[in-house]
Amino acid sequence: MQSSIPVHHEKFYIDGTWQKPATTLRIEVIGANNGELIGSVPEGGQADIDAAVTAARRAVEGGWSESSPAERAAVLNRFADAIEKRGDRLSRAVSMQNGMPLSLAEQLEVGYVVGLLRYYAALAQGLQTEERRHSPLGFDTLVRRKPVGVVGAIVPWNYPVVLSIMKIAPALATGCSIVLKPSPGTVLDCYILAEAAEEAGVPAGVLNWVPGGRDLGAYLVAHPGIDKVAFTGSTAAGRKIAEVCGRLLRPVSLELGGKSAGIILDDAKLDQVLPGLHFAAFGNNGQTCALSSRILVPATRYDEIVEALAELAKSLKVGDSLDRTTEIGPLASAEHRERVESYIARGKSEGRLVAGGGRPRHLARGWFVEPTVFADVANSATIAQEEIFGPVLTVIKYRDEDEAVKIANDSDYGLGGTVWSADSQRAQTVARRVQTGTIGVNGYVLDMASPFGGIKASGLGRELGPESLAAYQQLQSVYLTG
Ligand code: NAD
């Protein structure tokens, strides 16, 4: 972020240049820590999306899709360098917008992102796009992997940078171009990314950003110039997007909501579990899709573990997200806090409140909520089934491992989860039985080199790892019969 707050932008980064918006509408960004205006940007209109899609199409057809692996790798590496240089501004911009503790923003929204771009640069370098196969019918076939073309990408506000780069990196590695629509709540960070793209010499039209709301997102999804949609956000929006893409027969990847289980086994060592749960259950103030927000606790150690979870929640330092000692920052917006508080109100009739439940008294401004724990919750309760997306844990008692696995799997979602045990082999055996796209043993860290995504209502397709490249490619078989 520029040194003076609020920061105001007047243009969009489209076609490698800063272009005037088609409308006079503006998006105002309110700081999560204090409710004050921290910036504003133009709000995109349909004509801006049209311009961005046209530029993206020109880029893929004008040579980018035919560029060499070395060229794409160099672009990705230069982009990583340019983002790294802006790391301080970027992490502060994210933190001020959505309340992410600064130390986490530095780690994930900058450090991880830079690593991710370099990882995909290496993958781009080694990309095999043609394979000659001998057919059992006696001739050879050339199997080609071509870039899918122009990607329409839509991201939410909780990890605006990393979720964008999870789409940008494989798209660039495979030779696609992107039109990206960020969430209205987090639009300042994308200007820093655009500035980095410009400095890195990303070819014109390959990366374009048009901020706007859900109507603009819907326009992008259905745009005739889009070849593939990459979406991260709520399950409700994901279903609508999937319907449109189904009608259009347009490839789509969907990273959606979650309500994952953290299974604490009866031999778990609490001094190992509690620091791990700090991120795995409360990470980014609870505004993380894959959090273990349903904690499954063995009946034999129930009271001891509930007490320890309550103590953990009470011990977390809630404060200004820019303060490096803060562990839990504010929620992203006033509306989001209201939503989280309505779940807390509901939880008071569905469980026993053992920590939090209110607003921290020492913070008069900003969208803060105390880290909250409900014990004695039935897995069928609303607070155990619906995604709250705030620092609110529900604790559910189980009798034995079979019942723990059954409860973990009794969810509409299937995104993440964790298993905690002094015996990592035992935890792994339980983890294998949990029906989710990812799961952590004694912790939860997104491995950039392995596929990430969900099953059931948590989505379709995978991001990260070499696997995500396939989502940005289409196959062509050339039969060499004569
Ligand atoms: P949201 O679905 O309301 O919005 C996400 C983005 O989609 C925004 O940019 C929004 O403007 C746009 N959008 C909304 N409706 C749309 C539509 N019909 N057509 C096109 N675009 C549309 O979600 P949110 O509240 O911004 O984000 C929180 C949600 O994101 C949570 O459910 C969380 O679990 C999920 N999420 C999932 C992952 C994952 O990888 N699985 C990661 C982060 C967040």
Q: Cβ(251)–Cβ(228) under 8 Å?
A: yes
**In the predicted model, is pLDDT for residue 36 greater than 60?**
yes
Owner of token pair 């008069």: 364
Closest residue by CA, ligand 1 atom 39: 255
Closest residue by CA, ligand 1 atom 30: 233
Query: Strand 473-480 relative to strand 140-147: parallel, antiparallel, unpaired?
Result: antiparallel
Burial 346-361 (b: 16+ CB within 10 A, else e): bbeebbebbbbbebbe
**In the predicted model, is pLDDT for residue 65 greater than 80?**
yes
Average pLDDT (84-94) is: 98
298-337 residue pLDDT tens: 999 999 999 999 999 999 999 999 999 999 999 999 999 9
Which residues are catalytically annotated? Answer: 255
Q: Please state the φ and ψ torsions of residue 32, each to the nearest 5 degrees.
A: -70, -25
Q: Cβ(94)–Cβ(83) under 8 Å?
A: no
Cis peptide before 184, with omega less than 30 degrees from 0? no
Average pLDDT (210-219) is: 98
Beta bridge mates, 138: none
Q: Please state the φ and ψ torsions of residue 279, each to the nearest 5 degrees.
A: -85, -40
Among 41, 183, 337, 343, which residue has the most ligand 1 atoms within 8 Å of its CB, making it the best to mutate?
183
Ligand 1 atom at shortest distance from the alpha carbon of 415? 41
Among 154, 179, 333, which residue has the most ligand 1 atoms within 8 Å of its CB, making it the best to mutate?
154
Rounded distance from Cα 332 to ligand 1 centre (Å):
14
214 exposure class (CB count in 10 Å sphere: 0-12, 13-18, 19+)? middle
Tell me what percent of the residues of the chain surpass a pLDDT of 90: 99
Rounded distance from Cα 234 to ligand 1 centre (Å):
4
235-271 residue pLDDT tens: 999 999 999 999 999 999 999 999 999 999 999 999 9
Q: Cβ(258)–Cβ(217) under 8 Å?
A: no
> How many C-beta atoms surround the C-beta of residue 137 within 10 A?
8
Average pLDDT (24-46) is: 98
Closest residue by CA, ligand 1 atom 9: 183
Q: Cβ(225)–Cβ(150) under 8 Å?
A: yes
Rounded distance from Cα 333 to ligand 1 centre (Å):
15
**In the predicted model, is pLDDT for residue 78 greater than 90?**
yes
**In the predicted model, is pLDDT for residue 234 greater than 90?**
yes
pLDDT score recorded for residue 32:
98
Distance from C-alpha of 262 to C-alpha of 440, rounded to nearest angstrom? 9
45-63 residue pLDDT tens: 999 999 999 999 999 999 9
**In the predicted model, is pLDDT for residue 1 greater than 90?**
no
Distance from C-alpha of 278 to C-alpha of 28, rounded to nearest angstrom? 32
Residues with CB under 6 A from ligand 1: 154-159, 163, 181, 183, 213-214, 217-218, 221, 232-234, 237, 240-241, 255-258, 289, 387, 389, 415, 454, 459
- Show Cβ contacts of residue 93 under 8 Å, excluding neighbours closer than 6 positions: 1, 188, 189, 192
| pLDDT bracket for residue 2 (50, 70, 90) | very low
375-415 residue pLDDT tens: 999 999 999 999 999 999 999 999 999 999 999 999 999 99
| pLDDT bracket for residue 3 (50, 70, 90) | low
Tokens of 203: 């070819």
pLDDT score recorded for residue 4:
81
Distance from C-alpha of 459 to C-alpha of 225, rounded to nearest angstrom? 24
Least trusted range by pLDDT, from 2-6, 224-228, 302-306: 2-6
What are the structural domains, with CATH classification, of the chain?
7-256+458-480 (3.40.605.10), 260-448 (3.40.309.10)
What's the CA angle centered on 123, arms 121 and 124, to 5 degrees?
65
275-286 residue pLDDT tens: 999 999 999 999
Closest residue by CA, ligand 1 atom 31: 234
Distance from C-alpha of 263 to C-alpha of 398, rounded to nearest angstrom? 9
How much is the mean pLDDT over the chain?
A: 97
